[in-house]
Amino acid sequence: MKRKDKIQIHTMNKTELASQIQAIGEQIKKMKMERYTKPAKNVHEITIAKRKYAIMKTVLSQKHQGESV
């Protein structure tokens, strides 16, 4: 993930992050199912999506902690 993508994620508000997390989660599930039913064009896509999902979850939890403190 490029630096500008990470900066963009950090500037999102909580509702945008939550919707993006949900969308990427669905995308990961779909990619996993497709991985077993048909040959994948790019197997590294799942890893990239998981990494982006984890970064977004971390940023969202940091924003929740910053709000409560």
**What pLDDT, on the 0 to 100 scale, is given for residue 43?**
83
Q: pLDDT tens-digit profile of 29-42?
A: 999 999 889 887 88
pTM of the model: 0.84
How many distinct structural domains can be found in the chain? Answer: 1
Opening angle at CA 19, ends 44 and 51, nearest 5: 25
- Cα–Cα distance measured from residue 58 to residue 61, given in angstroms and rounded to the nearest whole number: 5
Read off the CATH number of the domain in which 40 is found: 1.10.287
Domain assignment of residue 62, given as a range: 3-68
Take residue 21 and report the two structure tokens written for it.
Answer: 């997390």
Q: What is the DSSP letter of 43?
A: T
Each residue of 15-27: pLDDT tens digit?
Answer: 999 999 999 999 9
